[in-house]
Chains A and B, each alone.
Chain A
Amino acid sequence: MMEIMEGSHAVAEIVKRCRPQVVSAYPITPQTHIVEDLAQMVANCELDAEYITVESEFSALSACLGASAAGSRVYSATTSQGLALMFEVCFNVAGMRQPIVMTIANRSLGAPLSIWNDQQDSISLRDSGWLQFYAEDNQEAADLHMIAYKVCEDHDVLLPAFVCFDGFILSHTYEPVDLPSQEEVDAYLPAFTPYQRLDAEEPLSFGMYATPEYYMEFRYEIDQAMRRAKEAFIRAGREFGEQFGRDYSALVEGYRLDDADTALVAMGSICGTAKDAVDEMRDAGRKVGLLKIRTYRPFPGPEIAEALKGVSTVAVLDKNISLGNGGAVGTEVKSALYGSGAAVYDYIIALGGRDVRKRDIAAVVDLAEKGEGDMFYGLRTEVL
């Protein structure tokens, strides 16, 4: 049933219906409403889970790791500095192959301190072995949690996932969301079957020491699992479409890309604004389209190359900056399009909550078509 609700509440409601057995999180803006809602659901006996309160994000994810290794379906949520504090545990969760799902309410990283949105936090965990999915709106944010559990718990994958949705822009915004019922979620997402688990009868340790003779092979296997996650996502996304009518079988999604000369590439909520901007440019007779990246990890390089075939100019919108180089998404899109002949330009945009309007998107397209790019867009040079 379609309801108007806050993004954080939609996420909490869908997480509840995914039936996590253990939730551990530490409240941090703008993720707070999600974990407040879940704590209340546990207190009200609406959700049969252990809610472990902790003193930091490091402890939160450590508690999740232990609970997952013990065979539970586990959930957490964080953002920004909280995710930064989890850095070490993130690598351990992926290395121990625990299918934890964690919401990231994307927020910039300090210093300077900022509670506003960009995607620097999750992008900075790019190499940690977590799958990364980005939602355009609150419907997609809710849906991606169900898909994430299905993909992560697939025994061909066994990796954790971030479901990323833009802090405030989505987390605190009220939108119509169609939430499936508990029965419908149960039909899509069966109970968690651990591949292996901690058991006093059959003792097991996870993440043991590996000498140089073995370490590289473990990393190779994680990389292989990450690559298999593409197929698992496509399967889970297709099944989702069959059951709920919203198809997520595509790792990247084109919008008015047919016959486009210039393509924007973006992730997350900015895609909504970009679609409206594309419509206006199309109305003005310009051949512009958008490619939305849904799964940043595994990175859909060949899928991007296929989707952008025939496009001559590409403008990548990066809500992050790999300082000293450029935007992380732009760098990888350039790599994916190497040899295609397309001119690919990268724009660092919307850092620390700077608003992006339709006219900004149009201005980026103008710059790209003039061959000006690989730059910060919208810098206030008067304060520099």
Chain B
Amino acid sequence: MALRIGCAAPPGRALENKTGAWRVFKPVFDPETCSRCGMCALVCPEGCVHETEEGTFEPDLDYCKGCGICEEVCPKKSIRMEKEEK
């Protein structure tokens, strides 16, 4: 990405900051036990948990920072945080 004077940017450029690189633990979603309540998507501070075609949920690991809030709120305990080896 070439720099633009004044660090000016049109809308959407923040998508180029792949904040997933900050992660230590990654969330692993289990669609088998998921009740499809959507709490994980509601609480995600990065807005990177999306509903799949089946109605369950999955994170976008390009942006997931690994904060673990989704794991904390999941009433079915179907999300677990796993140490990620890079």
**What's the Cα separation between A214 and B5 when bound, in Å?**
12
Query: A216: shortest Cβ distance to chain B, in Å?
Result: 11
Flag if B5 contacts A208 (CB, 8 Å): no
Select the stretch in A17-25, A91-99, A104-112, A295-303 that faces chain B.
A91-99
Flag if A208 contacts B3 (CB, 8 Å): no
Flag if A209 contacts B6 (CB, 8 Å): no
Within 8 A of A (CB), among B3-31: 3, 5-11, 13-14, 17
Select the stretch in A35-43, A195-203, A322-330 that faces chain B.
A195-203
Flag if B17 contacts A204 (CB, 8 Å): no
Query: A209-B17, A211-B17 are contacts. A204–B10 as well, Cβ < 8 Å?
Result: yes
| B6 contact set on A, CB distance < 8 A | 95-98, 158, 196, 206-207
Flag if B8 contacts A196 (CB, 8 Å): yes
| A218 contact set on B, CB distance < 8 A | 3, 7
Flag if A206 contacts B14 (CB, 8 Å): no
Flag if A96 contacts B10 (CB, 8 Å): no
**What's the Cα separation between A203 and B12 when bound, in Å?**
10
Q: Is A384 positioned at the interface, with any CB of B under 8 Å from its CB?
A: no
| B5 contact set on A, CB distance < 8 A | 97, 158, 195-196, 221
Interface SS of chain A = loop
- Categorize the interface residue count of chain B: 10 to 19
Within 8 A of B (CB), among A154-184: 158
Q: Is A1 positioned at the interface, with any CB of B under 8 Å from its CB?
A: no
**What's the Cα separation between A289 and B24 when bound, in Å?**
65
**What's the Cα separation between A196 and B4 when bound, in Å?**
10
B19 to A, closest residue via Cβ = A211
Flag if B3 contacts A205 (CB, 8 Å): no
Within 8 A of A (CB), among B27-59: none
A97 to B, closest residue via Cβ = B6
Most A CB contacts (10 A, CB to CB) among B6, B7, B10, B17 go to B6
B9 to A, closest residue via Cβ = A208
| A209 contact set on B, CB distance < 8 A | 14, 17
Query: A88: shortest Cβ distance to chain B, in Å?
Result: 16
Flag if B10 contacts A208 (CB, 8 Å): no
Query: A24: shortest Cβ distance to chain B, in Å?
Result: 20
B6 to A, closest residue via Cβ = A97
Task: Provide 20 A-B residue pairs closer than 8 Å at the C-beta atoms, listed in order of the A residue.
Answer: A95-B6, A96-B6, A96-B7, A96-B8, A158-B5, A196-B8, A205-B9, A207-B6, A207-B8, A208-B7, A208-B9, A208-B14, A209-B14, A209-B17, A210-B7, A211-B17, A217-B3, A218-B3, A221-B3, A221-B5
A sample of 10 more A-B contacts (CB under 8 A), given A196-B5, A204-B10, A207-B8, is A96-B8, A158-B6, A195-B5, A205-B10, A205-B11, A206-B6, A208-B9, A211-B17, A214-B3, A218-B7
